[in-house]
Structure 1
Amino acid sequence: MEKLNININKIHHVFISHRHNDHITGIIWIIRAVAQQIINGKYEGNLKIYCHKENVEAIRILSSLLLDKKFTNYIDNKILFVEIDHARKEKILTWDIEFFDIGSTKQLQFGFTTILNDKKKLTFLGDEPYREVLFDYANKADYLLHEAFCLYSQREIFKPYDKHHVTVKEACENAARLKVKNLIMYHTEDKNIVERKKLYTAEGRKYFMGNILVPDDLEVINL
């Protein structure tokens, strides 16, 4: 956020998909930073954290263990949890967001879909691959966010299937079958960050003829 010059006072809505360490621990820093700005009299409005019940419980526990009481005093006051479940709809900024259970067999996890201001459909599938039960959410999306753990050519190195992930090949095949316009691939291995965009795009082009986006860290995508 600091590298992109995003002021913490501008953050009022945060979505947490599931409880894995790489997804949930950052919210503790957000809570602390927002609480400090509230104390300083510089934060207007509330911070809303959208997540399922297990996440709420975990965030409460982590906050109580890691943050001073002067910060946690604002939880349930100016820092609010919005507990989501399957098909829950919320108005966030100018968008109508619908959350959905992705059907993970590892741990309860949610994605979401929305229609942007220009009437384009955006769907986030979480960090596990597309499942058929999610067809209505993903079908004909203008933007589909789909994990791709590694190149198909490197599947024996990174073992994506053992981790409930897929490769560029499957992500692109899913996007093609769903008639997606723009595929955004993320949640990748990080052994070759410099060449990742080029390599993932080249392999993906064999299976999907729409627009392929493999964002680098801090890259901004204009929707």
Structure 2
Amino acid sequence: MNPFEITILGCGSALPTTLHNPSSQLVRLNQKLFMIDCGEGTQLQMRKFKTHIGKLHSIFISHLHGDHVFGLPGLISTLDLLGRTGDLNIYAPKEIETFFKPILSYFNPHLSFKINIIALHPDKFETIFENNSIRISSFPLKHRIATCGFLFEEKERPLHIKREMIDFYHIPITQIKAIKEGEDFYLADGTLIPNHTLTFPAAPPRKYAYCSDTAYNPEMIPYIEGVDVLYHEATFAENETVRAHETYHSTAREAAEIAKAAHVKKLIVGHFSSRYQENDILLNEAMSVFTNTELANEGLIIQL
């Protein structure tokens, strides 16, 4: 099975601290490396955790608050210094060009590679990247400015054919693809061999959802239903609920309520407010609602 893993590079919120870096994650899926958000210092975190900067496939920016995007100019400059030649796709709200283009034109007027800005539509669910084996979608979150969550998912894989059935029924190679796609097999005398006798199911497709930043928002539940891992912001504890609602963020308990309602398998909470010197209060509040919860931390690798 191909690796599907998430590396947390930063899980703090807007104010810098010595405990956490601003938001950024790497998703390694089907031999491709994707980045979600790019807060200040992201490229240093990539070096620290020995990730392959040069193998970065695409970048997904959830929204245009600084703690999610200020690391982007430095990362682009480093990719240029490393001699990247392949295109880099950046999926982001369309307003990113107002911020990004003047910086690029001043500091990197002659990039060694092309940057393609693909505008997100933060008011709807849509597929934004797809190939034969994976699909990446964006969906609306509820924040002070236009913000997207992201869903990374494997596509359904074909059935596995049983090797012993190939030998027993002398199934020709030309028929194997059709059987994997669900067709029955007929012997030379016309006898039908049903597909379920010849095959067994592939492992269920794995799914990862990223939700940061957002107020408590049950409308997102259909988009994240049943995912293997949900990353959901938990900026505040319950005693700061008023502040959370004012700033369109979530409490740890609210993140857990979303996870429970969406029947996810595992919850990772992050985007911690700088007011917390340790995050056990957030973990405990989330676990009181959804037991299978874990705190994000820089360097954490989540295997799906």
Q: Which residue of 1 aligns with 2:7?
A: none
Q: Which residue of 2 aligns with 1:113?
A: 151
CA distance 1:130–1:113, change in 2 (3 Å): farther
The whole-number CA distance in structure 1 between the counterparts of 2:96 and 2:63 is: 6
The whole-number CA distance in structure 1 between the counterparts of 2:72 and 2:97 is: 11
1:189 matches 2:273: yes
**Any conservation in 1 of the 2:142–2:215 contact (CA below 8 Å)?**
no
For residues 5-49 of structure 1, give each alpha carbon's deviation from its aligned partner in whole angstroms, at most 9, with x where no partner exists.
1232122211111111111111111111111222xxxx2522221
For residues 158-195 of structure 1, give each alpha carbon's deviation from its aligned partner in whole angstroms, at most 9, with x where no partner exists.
922221112111111121122121111111113444x3
Q: Structure 1: where are the runs of 5+ without partners?
A: none
1:38-49 equivalence runs, <5 A? 38=83, 43-49=84-90
1:130-145 equivalence runs, <5 A? 130-145=216-231
Q: TM-score, normalization: structure 1?
A: 0.82
1:162-181 equivalence runs, <5 A? 162-181=246-265
Q: TM-score, normalization: structure 2?
A: 0.62
CA distance 1:143–1:98, change in 2 (3 Å): same
Instruction: Quote how far apart the aligned CAs of 1:92 are.
Output: 6.9
Correspondent of 1:83 among 119, 123, 133 = 119
Correspondent of 1:95 among 134, 141, 145 = 134
Correspondent of 2:98 among 57, 72, 77 = 57
The whole-number CA distance in structure 2 between the counterparts of 1:22 and 1:93 is: 33
The whole-number CA distance in structure 1 between the counterparts of 2:266 and 2:69 is: 27
- Give the SS at the match of 2:47: coil
CA distance 1:201–1:155, change in 2 (3 Å): same
Instruction: Quote how far apart the aligned CAs of 1:215 are.
Output: 1.4
- Give the SS at the match of 2:301: coil
**Any conservation in 2 of the 1:56–1:83 contact (CA below 8 Å)?**
no
Q: Which residue of 1 aligns with 2:170?
A: none
Higher strand share: 2
The whole-number CA distance in structure 1 between the counterparts of 2:226 and 2:251 is: 21
Higher helix share: 1
**Any conservation in 2 of the 1:130–1:146 contact (CA below 8 Å)?**
no
The whole-number CA distance in structure 2 between the counterparts of 1:24 and 1:93 is: 30
Which residue identity lines up with residue 148 of structure 2 in the other structure? F
The whole-number CA distance in structure 2 between the counterparts of 1:20 and 1:92 is: 30
Task: Report how many residues are paired.
Answer: 208
Which residue identity lines up with residue 136 of structure 1 in the other structure? P
- Give the SS at the match of 1:175: helix
Identity of aligned residues (%): 25
The whole-number CA distance in structure 2 between the counterparts of 1:134 and 1:188 is: 21
**Any conservation in 2 of the 1:13–1:92 contact (CA below 8 Å)?**
no
Aligned Cα RMSD in Å? 2.4
**Any conservation in 2 of the 1:16–1:51 contact (CA below 8 Å)?**
yes
Q: Structure 2: where are the runs of 5+ without partners?
A: 1-45, 156-203
The whole-number CA distance in structure 2 between the counterparts of 1:133 and 1:90 is: 23
Query: If you compute each CA radius of gyration, which structure gives the higher value, 1 or 2?
Result: 2
